Structure 1
Amino acid sequence: MTDTPSPADEPAYARVAFQGALGAFSHEACLALRPWDEAVPHATFAEALAALTSGDCDMALIPVENSSIGAVEPAATLVRESGLAVLADVWRPIRHALMSVEGARLADIRSVESHPIALAQCAATLKGMHLKIIEHFDTAGAARDVAEAGDATRAAIAPVGAAEVYGLSILRNDLQDSSDNRTRFLLLGVSQG
């Protein structure tokens, strides 16, 4: 007798909607929790949930709470009002990195952009850096835009993975104010009842 798993033991392939661009924290969470699935990016939380309810995606992975700032809005409200089934509930560590184009130096940076939730998690650290703060729809989207602009005075706050995706250099790791910064993600599916 062998220990080879049967096809019934293999995880089912699914499309999982998330909010953000490739390299976002939600994308990283999808890859960590369900690496066998296809992670499908959406610009907003509402669009990610609509992809699930329309049947375009089989599940959605949505952040609803952060240990530093509380509820992640509007995601928490959208999830609460959605009537969708919670398939899994997991807390993940969130580590913010400051990144810019190749060759940029920390002393060159004049502005930083990221999602408002990420900026709030780094507020005290950023205050001491005296940078112009620019809100963006997404952490990884901010990294993508900084890369495309090619401006060494602009930086993004995003996951380390976003620097790899968009070819940016990390200027500083662990920008978050709390060393125990964590976000609670819910894996959602359509209710079967």
Structure 2
Amino acid sequence: MVAAVGRPEGDDAAGRCAYQGAPGAFSHEACTDLRPWDEAVAFDSFEAAIDALKTGQVGCALIPVENTTIGRVEPAASLVERSGLTIVSEVWRPIRLALMAPQGARLADIRTAESHPAALGQCVGTLATLGIAPVEAFDTAGAARAVAEAGDISRAAIGPARAAEVYDLSILRNDLQDSTDNRTRFVLLSA
């Protein structure tokens, strides 16, 4: 948990903060922690979240740009650099990855694990040790939603433990990340 960033003087923030992903994603958690007074608004891509800020649909956007395990989070970091938007604050947030699957699944049942490419990169060694094939998805929580909807006990998702609660999945293993110091830097953008 991180402390909320105070509302900048004169910034009404339009009451809405954009993030990339589905409800329950790490960006969603960071957005609600940093801007508890704003409505967190989900977008399918980093581009869409940044465009929403540029067009005034939201008052700010929270974007992940760097991770201690994989380095730059692309394409997000490049999009932020080219956006022309102002970085008003940043926060490093611990990232703990959970392996989650439909109710009744066991670790031995899992053949594939779906998640955002950045999350998969943070647990590639652990997945190899477990014999689980990584499958790229647009988002950590979006992967959890897809796994829940499919109901296939051979499919798992990797993401924040909260996503398991949101999509009624069982956590088969916590701390799936390869590094014990796995953190992501998020930047808060303003127009």
TM-score bracket relative to the smaller structure? over 0.9
Within-5 A mapping of 1:164-175: 164-175=165-176
**Cα distance in 2 for residues equivalent to 1:30 and 1:181:** 19
What's the counterpart of residue 139 of structure 2? 138
1:112 counterpart letter in structure 2: A
Deviations 1:9-56 (A, max 9, x none): 9x9562000000000000000111111110000010000000000100
**Cα distance in 2 for residues equivalent to 1:149 and 1:173:** 22
**Cα distance in 2 for residues equivalent to 1:43 and 1:180:** 28
2:177 counterpart letter in structure 1: Q
1:31 counterpart letter in structure 2: T
Partner SS, residue 186 of structure 2? strand
Deviations 1:60-115 (A, max 9, x none): 00000001111000000000011101111110000000000111111111111111
Partner SS, residue 128 of structure 1? helix
Give me the identity figure in percent: 64
- Per-residue deviation at 1:132? 2.1
- Give the ranges of 4+ consecutive aligned residues of structure 1 lying more than 4 Å apart after TM superposition: none
How many pairs does the alignment contain? 181
2:19 counterpart letter in structure 1: F
**Cα distance in 2 for residues equivalent to 1:126 and 1:70:** 19
1:162 counterpart letter in structure 2: A
What's the counterpart of residue 88 of structure 2? 87
Matched, 1:44 2:45: yes
**Cα distance in 2 for residues equivalent to 1:100 and 1:177:** 20
**Cα distance in 1 for residues equivalent to 2:88 and 2:165:** 30
Matched, 1:157 2:158: yes
**Cα distance in 2 for residues equivalent to 1:51 and 1:165:** 25
Partner SS, residue 130 of structure 2? coil
CA RMSD of aligned residues (A): 1.3
Give the unaligned 5+ runs of structure 2: 1-8
Partner SS, residue 36 of structure 1? coil
**Cα distance in 2 for residues equivalent to 1:164 and 1:131:** 22
**Cα distance in 1 for residues equivalent to 2:157 and 2:145:** 9
Contact kept, 8 Å, 2:96 with 2:175, in 1: the verdict is yes
What's the counterpart of residue 71 of structure 1? 72
| Bigger-Rg structure (1/2) | 1
What's the counterpart of residue 124 of structure 1? 125
What's the counterpart of residue 36 of structure 2? 35
What's the counterpart of residue 6 of structure 1? none
**Cα distance in 2 for residues equivalent to 1:58 and 1:132:** 39
